[in-house]
Structure 1
Amino acid sequence: MPSLVRFRRSRRRFGPLAALGVAFAGQVAGAVGPDARVLAASTAAGLALEVMLNRRHRRLSRVLSKARADVMVRQLIRDLLLVAGLMNLEPHGPGMRYMPLCYGLLLCYALYFACQGAVAKVRRSRTLPVLTRNIDASALRLRPAPPALLTRHPGVRLIGSGLPATAGLVAAALTGDGRWAGGGVALSVLLAGTGLAVLLAWLLPGRRPAGEAEVLAWFDAWLTEYRPTVGMYFSGGTSSAYQANMWLEPLAALGGRPVIVLRERFMMQKIGATDLPVICVPKVAHLMRLEHSTLGVLIHPANSGKTSQVLRIPSIKHAFVNHGESDKLSSCNPYAKAYDEVWVAGPAARERYALAEVGVDDRDVVEIGRPQLTPILPYSGPPAGRPVTVLYAPTWEGWTDDPGNTSVILAGENLVRALLADPGVRLLYKPHPMTGSVDPRAAAADARIRRLVQDAAGPAAGKETAARRPAKERRAFPARADGAERMLLQGVPEPGRASAHAAGEAAWDEAYWAALGPREHRVVTGARPALYSCFNRADLLISDVSSVVSDFLASGKPYAVANTGGLSEDEFRAVFPTVRAATVLTPDGRGVPALLEAVRDPSKDRLVAVRAELKEQLLGPADPPSPVRFAAAVEALARRAAARGARTAVPAPRTATEPDAAARRDRT
């Protein structure tokens, strides 16, 4: 089966490449032959393949570009073969002049290169040193971006502007009339020149946005006016935005004036709906301007290489809040000692740092609970008159080759088969979004598990209704929009926009689960339905040693953890405290039937009391509520920042007319 999958992938990858080679070979044959029909058909086939590459095989197109065979080179070869074919067809078209055609084609490509240079200049002029959301940036003279066809799709632009020339050359080859070629080339020159003129218009002084110095001055003025008190700092990759999004609501619920600080430009659109001001400061030199603001506290949901840059600001106190806690070594990373405080959920995390001896002082550990777990509903009893909904949510393979990191590789298929063998089970499979990003075996196992679930769901499950289908986000911006235009459009939000968005997501979730049959298995991917929404629908969780287990404990429902690290059950429970209240499953999945029976009959569930005890140990007490403890921790750390600022404040310089204290005492 794996070899068949690789064969299919290679066929999809190299099939278009082989077809492109055949089209060029046909052009060569038609030009050398010469055969006008073969030349025309091969040229048309090559253009059609270019369109397909741009739409369906962009990865292959990027590979060709790296091999110095980009669309410009391919189109140039295509046009030169057409000219060569016309020269060989000279007896059928006397009087044709080829040098003007060559000069015209050269002019087309010269205009193409000029457009590329203009695009680079336009992009540079519109790349602002600071990007914002939910902030009025109208003072920066921001304007809509140029058409996407001119700035983002050079291959499409080249093929489009060169199409008249190519069509004219083909027509000339078929008819022997050189006027077709001359007219086509002239039209291509006109199109390319028009595109260049449009791009140059965006470089006129009246159409450029504010320059770097003006933007930075505006940013400093906004900091002075808004006076931020607490913020969240985040830096990461494209698939890590969920780590920050889980802290949006707790941050918004705080008093004061919160702000979100990002470092990557693409992350501006990855952050979820919020009414909080969002700023993106890519350069370190510009980030240092926060030192002169009123910002006193920054919380950090994740470590990254760029975290050390903001830690250099002494006027801000930094707290590591993490995006989840588990028994893995990553939950007590030695990097945590770089922060002023480490905020954890409960006593278990405090003990974990103490045992790890990574340099984190126990006095700097603050227990705040998990304020984002409030949407999780408590256990309401066993399933009665309906299937048992099982959520299998394994974690990813991590950065090491430890087989205990994820159950997907060694146990996933066995667990899924055992669950699907029970007709009274509805399975929800929600893999970690980074599954397979490091280990190809995890990607292959994940693909096999998805097929198992989809095959068990039946053909009807593949026909999603509009209510069930994860609705694609409506295009909030025009296709041409760049960072500057998005900044203009994402100004001050309407009051209550985030609340309305949350209500819309809740309604969407209800429609999704209502449309999903009570016995229909499902592979759940993407941002919606969210993990906590799956928690509320599940009667049982099967997962790995990860923060998913700790969060699920908030529901009080039974859960199981797969033991794929080669440890005995006693060793597994001793090494990983979060497993203490779990049913331990072996990689062969033999314990699944007994686990399901305990879910259906609570009298056979011997871990109820242990789960309640472990919940308090991992997540802290229910009173005071976690949001209250989170707010108190923010306030206490803000007081520390203010006290530090008062101790290190530099006295204002004395003016020439102001006598010092000693002189005043002498006079008195």
Structure 2
Amino acid sequence: MPSAGLIPRRVKQLAALLTLFAAFAAQLVGALLAQVPVFATAAATGLALDLYLRHRQPRLLSMLSRVRFDVTVRQLLRDMIILLGLLRVEGVHPLREQAPLTVALLLVYALHFLCQAIAVLVRRTRTLPVVTRNIDASALRLCAAPPRILARRPGHRLLTFSVPATTGLLVTAATGDVRAGAVGTGLSVLLMAAGTFHLATWLLPGKRPASKEQTLEWLDSWLAEYRPTVAMYFSGGTSSAYQANMWLSTLSALDGKPLIVLRERFMVQKIQATDVPILCIPRVAHMFALESSTLKMMLHPANSGKTSQVLRIPSIKHAFTNHGESDKLSSCNPYAKAYDEVWVAGPAARERYRQAEIGVDDKDVVEVGRPQLAPIQPWTGAPEGTCTTVLYAPTWEGWDGNPGNTSVVLAGENIVRALLEDEGVRLLYKPHPMTGSVDPEAGAADRRIRAMITEAAARRSGPRPGLEAVAELARRKAELDRLTSSDFRPGADELERMMLQGTPEEGRAALVAEATEAWEEAYWASFPAWEHQIVVTPRLGIYSCFNQADLLISDVSSVVSDYLHSEKPYAVANTSGLTEEDFRATFPTVRAAAVLTPDASGVPELLESVRHPEKDPYKAARAELKAHLLGPSDPPSLVRFNAAAVALCAEADERRALMTAHLTQGIPAQRGPGSPAGRPEAPSGTDGSRKPATA
């Protein structure tokens, strides 16, 4: 069922469409019956409503475009009905006076279409084969984008520039004075002509960026100068950027010269603050610029359809790191055997791949730990304060329809109800952002859970933080916004953003990390310790919620594995239909967890064991399972991760040397450095790293 807020919005949208159609009908009737006030009022109302919807409800108007009733058709129909009305107005001669107005109006449309053709050319010239960030690309002759109304918003342009013409014609219809129509159409012609001429200046050499060939030559020279050694490759949809963002700090801490390689243009702005150069190469044909570079290996936090394209480069070694580890089948995807190595956190994942029998050799599985988990604070014993903070963080329903994927549908409301019945519980509810994207029942259950928590929070009262805490949060937010918000004007396009995001501010990533930590601390301090929270703020990471929680309730997911780093108590909801014994045997992450049935009957006993650690039967098991899932704590995960990168880079050097030797001896080999790809051979054995013996 649609949500309560969705129905009024749809009613308003339907009312707006009906009003728009009614305006056209009234305008036509008024023109045919020579009722000037009627068709003039209807025309003005229609134009004003069109302008309003264009700015406030563009998606609504896109529905009309799909049925070929787009803005051009609507404005042309509006003006034609006005001209029809003028034929019925006394005092306006059809040939001597109305004909010039018609010609002028047609000239407005001709200039509009000419401007649109130039806009297409400008956009093409300003669409380079690569998009960069944190890279000085000034050699590509970057400049500011043309006004958005001219280059990218033809509907806004036509409606806005037609206002004088439509207004003048309506005045002529009302008064019979042709001069008003002449002045109005003349102004519209002048606006269209000036806008078209101004837009055309972006096709002149002074504003025209580098050509495709020049851009690719620049890319080769930049790669030769920067000499990258290790890159993170990522391709995905708009909601998947978190999978790459979680590896930014690890990538930047590796020895060598890091690089981020993307495939989707929009993803460049989805990557969070980092000092690492970002290079987006949308077309596979241009990916082979990396082949002749010093790049030795790539990290892959996710599988995608475009991953196979970069795997074709034989001079680069590839390691699959995934974006999280869980006991789900998706964590052992058969696609993993396409990589040179599969990097996992600890022995549990190695066993998982071995048991899955999907073609991944055990020798290709490398245990590197989870470097991102360092910010998670360790367990300190019984909860402090008057409230026990429980984090309920269920995962989403997944693509396969398995009822055991998420507890939201079958157990979520029962779990939340049982927690809210305990007056000593403070509940933090953090649903997966994709909840409800596949199964509407999951979305409906999520909304009911939120309503339950909101209602329970409203019933609570107590002392709240003072104005100082609120002011501190505002100050920290402003500081974080200053560091993370890209101050782009609304009309900025890719090239303008590339120009503004060239060389990054030194140490900016570290400043952002410090500001984020300070903001998170101020965020939690701005709420009372007893208040239930629905955590959907994108800026607030799951690890920050971990540090607030005394207990986690979740599903079989990577959230459990990451939380285990703290060794705090946790519970897993069993909605799979398996018995508890089979559930524990099937999913290793559950071995040190309390298991909740769909009716959530075990919640009171679970809370008792959290408040009294001596009653906790899983304390020792959690420490043991942590080492099994995440590997040893010594040496640190980042050290092991870096060592794995160094080793894989060394293998890439050996392979590159072997390929070069084969080519020198005339032995046929796979396409590689020095092969007929039109690119120079890369020097063997050079790594371009910052340190003498690094990756």
* Higher mean C-alpha deviation, range 126-135 or range 268-277: 126-135
What amino acid does structure 1 have at the position aligned with 2:582? E
* Higher mean C-alpha deviation, range 477-486 or range 341-350: 477-486
1:184 matches 2:195: no
1:259-658 equivalence runs, <5 A: 259-458=259-458, 474-650=485-661
What amino acid does structure 1 have at the position aligned with 2:316? I
Structure of greater relative contact order (alpha carbons < 8 Å, 6+ residues apart): 2
Partner of 2:81: 81
Partner of 1:116: 116
The alpha-carbon deviation at position 466 of structure 1 amounts to 7.2
Alpha-carbon distance in 2 for matches of 1:147, 1:404: 51
Partner of 1:48: 48
1:259-306 CA distances to partner (integer Å, 9 max, x unpaired)? Answer: 111111111000111111111111111101111111111010000000
What amino acid does structure 2 have at the position aligned with 1:91? E
What amino acid does structure 2 have at the position aligned with 1:643? E
Question: Contact 1:468–1:516 at 8 Å: present in 2 too?
Answer: no
Partner of 1:243: 243
Q: 1:568 to 1:653 in 2, by over 3 A?
A: closer
Question: Contact 1:171–1:180 at 8 Å: present in 2 too?
Answer: yes
Question: Contact 1:561–1:582 at 8 Å: present in 2 too?
Answer: yes
Q: 1:258 to 1:2 in 2, by over 3 A?
A: closer
The alpha-carbon deviation at position 503 of structure 1 amounts to 1.1
Alpha-carbon distance in 1 for matches of 2:455, 2:155: 40
* Higher mean C-alpha deviation, range 284-293 or range 600-609: 600-609
Question: Contact 1:468–1:513 at 8 Å: present in 2 too?
Answer: no
Alpha-carbon distance in 2 for matches of 1:639, 1:431: 42
1:59 matches 2:59: yes
Percent identity over paired residues? 61
Q: 1:162 to 1:2 in 2, by over 3 A?
A: closer
The alpha-carbon deviation at position 92 of structure 1 amounts to 6.3
Q: 1:391 to 1:348 in 2, by over 3 A?
A: same
Question: Contact 2:92–2:98 at 8 Å: present in 1 too?
Answer: no
TM-score, structure 2 normalization: 0.90
The alpha-carbon deviation at position 178 of structure 1 amounts to 2.4
The alpha-carbon deviation at position 623 of structure 1 amounts to 0.8
Question: Contact 1:231–1:258 at 8 Å: present in 2 too?
Answer: yes
The alpha-carbon deviation at position 629 of structure 1 amounts to 0.5
What amino acid does structure 2 have at the position aligned with 1:132? T
The alpha-carbon deviation at position 348 of structure 1 amounts to 0.6
Secondary structure (helix, strand or coil) at the match of 2:409 reads: coil
Q: 1:311 to 1:558 in 2, by over 3 A?
A: same
Alpha-carbon distance in 2 for matches of 1:626, 1:13: 54
Q: 1:163 to 1:539 in 2, by over 3 A?
A: same
The alpha-carbon deviation at position 475 of structure 1 amounts to 4.4
Count of residues paired in the alignment: 652
CA RMSD of aligned residues (A): 2.3
Alpha-carbon distance in 2 for matches of 1:629, 1:209: 44
Q: 1:284 to 1:7 in 2, by over 3 A?
A: same
Q: 1:176 to 1:296 in 2, by over 3 A?
A: same
Alpha-carbon distance in 2 for matches of 1:91, 1:137: 64
Alpha-carbon distance in 2 for matches of 1:572, 1:81: 71
Partner of 1:660: none
Secondary structure (helix, strand or coil) at the match of 1:206 reads: coil
Alpha-carbon distance in 1 for matches of 2:574, 2:33: 68
Question: Contact 1:223–1:293 at 8 Å: present in 2 too?
Answer: yes
The alpha-carbon deviation at position 185 of structure 1 amounts to 1.1
What amino acid does structure 2 have at the position aligned with 1:158? L
Alpha-carbon distance in 1 for matches of 2:386, 2:75: 62
* Higher mean C-alpha deviation, range 352-361 or range 502-511: 502-511
What amino acid does structure 1 have at the position aligned with 2:610? V
1:95-122 CA distances to partner (integer Å, 9 max, x unpaired)? Answer: 8822222222211111111111111111
* Higher mean C-alpha deviation, range 641-650 or range 450-459: 450-459
The alpha-carbon deviation at position 651 of structure 1 amounts to 7.4
1:230 matches 2:230: yes
What amino acid does structure 1 have at the position aligned with 2:56? R
Alpha-carbon distance in 2 for matches of 1:368, 1:361: 17
What amino acid does structure 1 have at the position aligned with 2:177? D
* Higher mean C-alpha deviation, range 478-487 or range 358-367: 478-487
Secondary structure (helix, strand or coil) at the match of 1:611 reads: helix
What amino acid does structure 2 have at the position aligned with 1:334? P
What amino acid does structure 2 have at the position aligned with 1:304? S
Partner of 1:661: none
The alpha-carbon deviation at position 526 of structure 1 amounts to 3.9
Q: 1:495 to 1:25 in 2, by over 3 A?
A: same
Q: 1:21 to 1:192 in 2, by over 3 A?
A: same
1:596-625 CA distances to partner (integer Å, 9 max, x unpaired)? Answer: 222222222211111111111110111111
TM-score, structure 1 normalization: 0.93
* Higher mean C-alpha deviation, range 201-210 or range 464-473: 464-473
